Structure 1
Amino acid sequence: MRELWPYLRKHRGVLVVVAVLSVLSAGAALVQPVLVRTVLDAITAKRPVGSPVSLLVVLLLTGAALGGVRDYLLQRTAEGLVLTTRRRLAGHLLHLPIAEYDARRTGDLLSRVGADTTLLRAVVTSGLFEMVAGVVMVIGAVIAMAVLDPLLLAVALGGLAVGLGVAVTVSRRVRGLSTQAQARLGEMTSAVERSLSAARTIRASGAEEREAETVGRSATEAYEAGMRVARLEAIVGPASTAATQGAFLLVLGVGGARVASGAISVGDLVAFILFLFFLVMPLGQALNAYTRLQTGLGALQRIEEVLKIPTESESDISDLPRESDDAAPAVEFENVSFRYAQGEPILHDVSFAVPRNARVALVGPSGAGKSTTLALIERFYEVTDGSVRVNGADIRGLPRDALRRQLGYVEQEAPVLAGTLRDNLLLTAPGADDATLLRALDDVNLGVLVTRTPEGLDVQVGEGGVLLSGGERQRLAIARTLLADTPILLLDEPTSNLDARNEAALRDAIATAARRRTLIIVAHRLSTVVDSDLIVVLEEGRVVATGTHTELLDRSPLYRELAAHQLLVS
C-alpha cells in the first residue's frame, strides 16, 4: 500500500465504496452456509423451508449484484489508474534531460509506457482487492468454522498450512523475476524499434536475416525470463490445489466420524464444508492475487525508476542573475569546456562572442565540436567549466523554457514528425494561419509541396518525413524554425542536403532572416558562410582563429586549407 498509495490516492473515494461492497458481498456469501444448515435441519425435522430458502435466494442474488457493481468499479478505477500513469510517465519522459535519452534505449522507454503500465491494471482488478476480499472471507469463514466445530477447524487448517506455506514462499520471489522479465521485454522492444527505424538500410545491406536473429535473441531472452516467472507461478497453483483437496478429504473423513458419533449433525457438517469452501476459494484467489500483485509491483518499480529521474525544469533552480544586458553580445562563450558523462573532453577553453543581429559561422573539420557548441547554447547539456551567456545572462540562471523561447534551432538531422505538412509547421507556431505557413514554405523554396497534391498543407509526410527528399526535409525543418520568429537562430548544417539551386534560394532566405535576427550557423560548405560577419574556426574542440572570410584566408592555415578543398581559393 505504501508503494501503491500515490497512484491510488486520486481514486480513494471509489476504492472506499469498493471496499464496502467487498465486505457486504463477503457477508452475504458467509450467511449462506448458515441458511443451508437451517434448511437441512428443517427438512430433517419436517418443518417448513420456504422462508430460509427464499432468504438464501435473495442473499445469493444480492451477493452477485454487489460483486458485479464492485467489479465494474474496479475495472473503471484500474483503467483510470493506467491512463493517469501513462499520461504522467509520457509527460515526464518528454521533459527528461537530453543526456538521459543518450544513455537509454528508446524501445525500453516505450515498453515502460505500454507494457509496464498495463500490468498496473491487474494490481487493482485482480490483485489488491482480491486479497482484501479474500482476507474478509477467510476471517469470517474461520470464525464460523470455529463456532461450528473447533476440532474440524484444526484439522482443516493443518491440511492447508503446508501447501499454502510453499505457495507463499514461492510467490515472494515473483516480484524480482517479474522485474527482470519486464526489462528483457523492454530490450526486445528496443531491438524491434532499432530494426524498423532502419528498415531501408537493413534491406539495402541484405541484413534482414542477421537483424531477425538479433531480434530473435532478444525475444528468446524475454521468453526465458517470462518462463522463470511462469515456473514459479505454476508451483503456486498445484500447491494450493493439493492443500485444498487434502483439507477437504480430512474434513470429510473426520467430519463423517463425528456425525456418526453424534458430536455434530449432518447440517453442521454440510455448513462446515461450505465454510471450508469459502475459506479455500478466497485463499487460492488471494495467493494468485498476491502473485499478480508482485508482478505489478515489479512493473511499478520500473515506472518509478524513470519518474525519479529529475526533469530539466527540476534542475533549473539557480542563484545566478537572470537580468539581461542590452549592451552585451547576443551569445557569448567564456572559457567553456565540456565533456559528456564518462567521456573524453569535447570542447577546451572555448571563447568567442556573437554580436547582436550578426551572422556568425562555426567551421572546422568533422568532430571539432561545432554541433556540441549549439547544443550547449540550447542547454541540452551543461558546460563542464566556463559559462555561456545570452544577452549578458548566464544561461544556467535562466529557466530552459524561457531561454529556448529566444532560440530557433535546426538540428543537423533535420527531423520531420510523422503527420502532415501543417502539423510540422504548427509545431513551433501553433497559432499561425495558412497564409503565414505558405509564406514560410515559399521562403525556403518549398511551396511546390503544397501544389503537388490536392491535400495542400494537409499532405502526409510519412514516418520521419520518408515521403520527402532529404533536401525537402531539411528545408521544412528550417521553415518550421523560421515560423517561431525567435531573435536568435541556430542552424546546424542547413544546406548539407541541398543542390546548388535550392542552396542559393535558402541562402537568400537565411540572409533575409539575418536582417532582424542573430544567426549562428554550423557549416561544412564555406560557400554558404563566406559573407558572414564573423567566422569562428574550431579544431579538436578549440578555437584556433576568428575573423571574416578574407581575414581568415590571410592568417588561418586551417581555414585556407578548407577553402582550397572546396575550390574557394586557387
Structure 2
Amino acid sequence: MTAPPTTRRVGLPALLPYLRAHRGTLLVVALLSLTSAGAALVQPLLTREVLDAIGAARPVTRLVGLLVGLLVVGAALDGIRDYLLQRTAEGLVLGTRRRLAGHLLRLPIAEYDQRRTGDLLSRVGADTTLLRAVVTSGLFETVTGFVMVLGAGTAMILLDPVLFGVTLAGVAAGLSVAMVFARRVRGLSEQAQARVGEMTSAVERAISAARTIRASRAEERETTGVGMAAGQAYDAGLRVARLQALIGPISTTAVQGAFLVVLGVGGARVATGAITIGDLVAFVMFLFFLVLPLGQALNAYTQLQTGLGALQRIEEMLDLPVEGATDSPAGPPGVPPARPARPTRPPGVAAVEFDRVSFGYPNAGPVLHEVSFTIPYGTRTALVGPSGAGKSTLLALVERFYEPTGGRLRVGGVDLRDLPRDRLRGQLGYVEQEAPVLAGTLRENLLLTAPTATEEQLLAVLAEVDLTRLVQRTPLGLDAQVGEGGVLLSGGERQRLAIARTLLANPPILLLDEPTSNLDARSEAALRRAIDTVAADRTLLIVAHRLATVVDADQIVVLDGGRVVAVGPHAELTQSSPLYRELAAHQLLVG
C-alpha cells in the first residue's frame, strides 16, 4: 500500500531546507541589500542639503560628488546582488530537480500505477521553475522592501510627522485592499499548476501512442483532447492573471494618490513655513522609497504565494516514502551494485520458493490465492495459463515491485522481506514483457546494468544472444541509435537486446516475461537459441505465451484464476491437466 499525498500546508519554513545549501551566498546578498538600501536612504537627505546649500549660496560641489558616488555605488551593489540572486535561484532549481527526480525514480512501483507520467514530469519541470521567483522576486524583495520602508518611514516621521500621518493613511488603505486579493493567489496558482500537469499528461499520452493514434485515424480526437486540457490550463492561468492584474492598479492608485496628497498638503505647509522646500523634496523622495518597495513587496508576496503553491506539489511527492525505505543498507546510495558472485547453494534450499503466496493490487481485488511451488537451482521453470491468471504478477513479486499480502516468498531460502532490495535484485535478471529499450545507443542500453563493462564484454554478450549482425550493419557499431523505445529495432532484436542487457549483470536467476510474444517464427527460433545458450548454470523462471518455447522446461506451473492447478513436465501435464492439454491443443502441440 502506498501513502496518500500529504495534506499539510507548506509555508515559509518549508523553504529553509532548500535555501540552507546557499546560506553563504544569501548572507552576502543580504549584506549587499542592506548596504544598497542604506545608500539609497541617504540620497534624499543629501538632496535636501544640496537644495538648502543652493538657497543659501553655499558651495555644493562636494555634496553633488557624494550624491553621484552614492548613486554609482548603489547601482553597482544592486547589479552584484541581482546576479548572486539569479545564480542562487538557478542553483535552487537545479538542486530541487535533482532531489525530486531521484525521489520519483525510487517511488514504489504501485505509485506509478496510480499516477500519470505527465503530471510527474510537470512537477519536475514547471513546478520547480516557479521556485526561482521565490528567491529572485519573493524573499529578498520582501526583506529589502521591509528595510527600505522602515528606513524611509523613520526619516519621514523625523521630517514631518503630520505629513507622514496623511501619507500613511492613504497608502495603507490602498495596500490593504491589494493584500486581500494577493492572499488568494496561492490557491489559484495550485489549481493552475495542477491543470498544467493534466495537460502535460494528455500530451505525453498522445505522443507515446503516436503510431496507434495515426493508425486509428484519431489525430483529430486526440488533438481535441489535448486542446481541452490546454484550455483548462489556460482558464486556470487566466484566473491567476486576473487576480494579479487587480493588484497592480490598486497599488499604483495608492502610490499616485499618496503623491498627490503629499504635494498638496506639503505645499501648504511650505507656504506656512512649517517645513522648507528642501524638506518637502526630501519627503517626496522618501515617499517613493516607501511606496515603491511596498508595491514591490506586494508583487513579491504574490510571487511567493505562487512559489509556495508549486512547493506544495513538490512536497507532496517528497513526502511519499521511497521503495525500500525500511530496508537495511546494502551499499552506498546511488552506486550500482557490483556484479554479484554466484551464491553458494545450501543443500536442500530452493532458488525460489512460493509458500502459500497471496496478493491483490490496491483497489483491484485479489490476484493470487495461496500459490505454492519451488524452483530448484539450475533448472528451468515455465509459468503458463490463460491471460489474467497472475503469471506476470509472480515475477513482479520476486523482484519485490510489490509485497505479498499473504504467505512467504523466499530466494535462496531467505524471506524476501529480510533481503534488502539492492542485494536481492543483484541476484536477479528481469526481462519485462514489453522488453523496453531506452532511447539512445546500443552501448548506452547495454551499460545500463553494467556501467563498467568493456567493449569486448559488450560484443561478447551480443554474440551470446545472436545480435552480432546488429553491430555490423552500421559503421557506428555499438554507437548506433535504437530510437525512442527501440523503434529502429525489430521486435525480436528488442527482446534479445533486453536479455543481453540483463546478462551483463551476470545474474544467477533469470526472470523472462513472455519473451517470444508477438515474434515471427524466425525471431522466435533465434530467441529460443539465445535462451538455451544463457540457461547454462542459471535458474530460469519464464512466463510462456507460446508453449513451444517451454516444452523442454524442467517443470511447468499451470495457473488459472490466480491459483496453481498443476505442476509437472510437458509430457505429464498433457495427460494429467485438462487446462494444459487444452492450451497445448490450441497450439498444435498434442494430437
TM (norm. structure 2) is 0.94
> Which residue number corresponds to residue 241 of structure 1?
252
CA contact (8 A) 2:492 2:524 kept: no
CA contact (8 A) 1:415 1:464 kept: yes
Counterparts of 1:15-30 in structure 2 under 5 Å? Answer: 15-30=26-41
CA contact (8 A) 1:167 1:240 kept: yes
SS of match in other structure, 1:315: coil
Which residue of the other structure, out of 242, 260, 266, is the alignment partner of 2:271?
260
CA contact (8 A) 1:552 1:559 kept: yes
Partners in 2 of 1:126 and 1:15 — Cα distance?
14
> Which residue number corresponds to residue 311 of structure 1?
322
Q: Note the alpha carbon deviations across 1:499-531, whole angstroms, 9 max, x for none.
A: 223322322222232221100000011111011
Deviation at 1:326, TM superposition (A): 5.2
> Which residue number corresponds to residue 296 of structure 1?
307
Counterparts of 1:100-119 in structure 2 under 5 Å? Answer: 100-119=111-130
Which residue of the other structure, out of 180, 184, 190, is the alignment partner of 2:191?
180
> Which residue number corresponds to residue 494 of structure 1?
515
CA contact (8 A) 1:138 1:279 kept: yes
Q: Which amino acid aligns with 1:367?
A: G
CA contact (8 A) 1:326 1:391 kept: no
> Which residue number corresponds to residue 284 of structure 2?
273
Q: Which amino acid aligns with 2:229?
A: S
> Which residue number corresponds to residue 284 of structure 1?
295
CA contact (8 A) 2:566 2:577 kept: yes
Larger mean Cα displacement after TM superposition, 439-448 or 215-224: 439-448
Counterparts of 1:397-476 in structure 2 under 5 Å? Answer: 397-476=418-497
Counterparts of 1:500-539 in structure 2 under 5 Å? Answer: 500-539=521-560
| Consecutive unaligned residues in structure 1, runs of 5 or more | none
> Which residue number corresponds to residue 363 of structure 2?
342
Q: Which amino acid aligns with 1:85?
A: T
Q: Note the alpha carbon deviations across 1:154-181, whole angstroms, 9 max, x for none.
A: 0101111111001111111111111111
Deviation at 1:457, TM superposition (A): 0.8
Deviation at 1:478, TM superposition (A): 1.2
Which residue of the other structure, out of 394, 399, 406, is the alignment partner of 1:378?
399
> Which residue number corresponds to residue 228 of structure 1?
239
4+ aligned runs moved over 3 Å, structure 1: 323-327
Deviation at 1:546, TM superposition (A): 0.2
Larger mean Cα displacement after TM superposition, 62-71 or 143-152: 62-71
Q: Which amino acid aligns with 2:239?
A: R
Partners in 2 of 1:533 and 1:444 — Cα distance?
22
> Which residue number corresponds to residue 129 of structure 1?
140
Deviation at 1:433, TM superposition (A): 1.8
Partners in 2 of 1:502 and 1:247 — Cα distance?
82
Which residue of the other structure, out of 163, 169, 184, is the alignment partner of 1:152?
163
Deviation at 1:395, TM superposition (A): 0.5
Judged with a 3 Å threshold, the aligned counterparts in structure 2 of structure 1 residues 326 and 87 are, in CA distance, closer, same or farther, namely farther
SS of match in other structure, 1:302: helix
CA contact (8 A) 1:324 1:392 kept: no
Q: Note the alpha carbon deviations across 1:4-44, whole angstroms, 9 max, x for none.
A: 10100111111111111111100000000000000000111
Partners in 2 of 1:502 and 1:182 — Cα distance?
46
Q: Which amino acid aligns with 1:81?
A: L
Counterparts of 1:192-203 in structure 2 under 5 Å? Answer: 192-203=203-214
Partners in 2 of 1:91 and 1:497 — Cα distance?
34
Partners in 2 of 1:15 and 1:482 — Cα distance?
49
> Which residue number corresponds to residue 340 of structure 2?
none
Counterparts of 1:322-341 in structure 2 under 5 Å? Answer: 327-341=348-362
SS of match in other structure, 1:39: helix
> Which residue number corresponds to residue 590 of structure 2?
569
| Consecutive unaligned residues in structure 2, runs of 5 or more | 1-11, 330-343
Judged with a 3 Å threshold, the aligned counterparts in structure 2 of structure 1 residues 506 and 470 are, in CA distance, closer, same or farther, namely closer
> Which residue number corresponds to residue 391 of structure 1?
412
Partners in 2 of 1:393 and 1:184 — Cα distance?
46
Q: Note the alpha carbon deviations across 1:224-282, whole angstroms, 9 max, x for none.
A: 11111111111110110111111011111100000000000000000000000100110
Partners in 2 of 1:89 and 1:214 — Cα distance?
29
CA contact (8 A) 1:445 1:502 kept: no
Deviation at 1:426, TM superposition (A): 1.1
Q: Which amino acid aligns with 1:86?
A: R
Judged with a 3 Å threshold, the aligned counterparts in structure 2 of structure 1 residues 34 and 326 are, in CA distance, closer, same or farther, namely farther
Deviation at 1:470, TM superposition (A): 1.6
Identity rate, percent = 73
Q: Which amino acid aligns with 2:361?
A: Y
Aligned residue pairs: how many? 567
1:4 maps to 2:25: no
Partners in 1 of 2:129 and 2:345 — Cα distance?
48
Deviation at 1:94, TM superposition (A): 0.7
Q: Note the alpha carbon deviations across 1:406-463, whole angstroms, 9 max, x for none.
A: 0000000100000001111111122222222222222222221111111111100001
Partners in 1 of 2:486 and 2:523 — Cα distance?
18
SS of match in other structure, 1:441: helix
CA contact (8 A) 2:352 2:375 kept: yes
Partners in 2 of 1:527 and 1:354 — Cα distance?
20
SS of match in other structure, 1:345: strand
CA contact (8 A) 1:171 1:291 kept: yes
CA contact (8 A) 2:48 2:279 kept: yes
TM (norm. structure 1) is 0.98
CA contact (8 A) 2:464 2:533 kept: no
Which residue of the other structure, out of 185, 188, 206, is the alignment partner of 2:217?
206
> Which residue number corresponds to residue 76 of structure 1?
87
Partners in 2 of 1:324 and 1:104 — Cα distance?
41
Partners in 2 of 1:47 and 1:18 — Cα distance?
39
Deviation at 1:532, TM superposition (A): 0.6
Which residue of the other structure, out of 25, 40, 46, is the alignment partner of 1:14?
25
Deviation at 1:325, TM superposition (A): 5.1
Judged with a 3 Å threshold, the aligned counterparts in structure 2 of structure 1 residues 261 and 325 are, in CA distance, closer, same or farther, namely farther
Q: Which amino acid aligns with 1:75?
A: Q
Q: Which amino acid aligns with 2:261?
A: L
Q: Which amino acid aligns with 1:564?
A: A
> Which residue number corresponds to residue 39 of structure 1?
50
Judged with a 3 Å threshold, the aligned counterparts in structure 2 of structure 1 residues 325 and 172 are, in CA distance, closer, same or farther, namely farther
Partners in 2 of 1:435 and 1:527 — Cα distance?
33
CA contact (8 A) 2:36 2:74 kept: yes
Which residue of the other structure, out of 384, 387, 407, is the alignment partner of 1:363?
384
SS of match in other structure, 1:4: helix
Partners in 1 of 2:586 and 2:436 — Cα distance?
29
Larger mean Cα displacement after TM superposition, 147-156 or 340-349: 340-349
Partners in 1 of 2:276 and 2:452 — Cα distance?
82
SS of match in other structure, 1:383: coil
Partners in 2 of 1:258 and 1:168 — Cα distance?
32
Deviation at 1:328, TM superposition (A): 1.2
Q: Which amino acid aligns with 1:211?
A: E
1:482 maps to 2:503: yes
